[in-house]
Amino acid sequence: MLILASSSISRANLLKTAKIDFRQVSFDYDENL
């Protein structure tokens, strides 16, 4: 199982589409820094 440490919906959808078993956890990180 993969841990997706991101609140990104698009990243979660990519993993779902690829049928990868993952769990999404909230990670407060500003990628624009």
pLDDT at position 4 over 90: yes
Q: Work out the angle at residue 11's Cα, subtended by the Cα atoms of residues 5 and 15, and round it to the nearest 5 degrees.
A: 95
Domain ranges, ordered by start, for the chain:
1-33
Q: Look at the block and give the residue holding tokens 């990519």.
A: 14
> What is the per-residue pLDDT across 5-19, written as a single tens digit (0 to 9) for each?
988 899 999 999 999
pTM: 0.71
- What value does the CA radius of gyration of the chain take, rounded to a whole number of Å? 10
Q: Are 23 and 4 in contact (CB under 8 A)?
A: yes
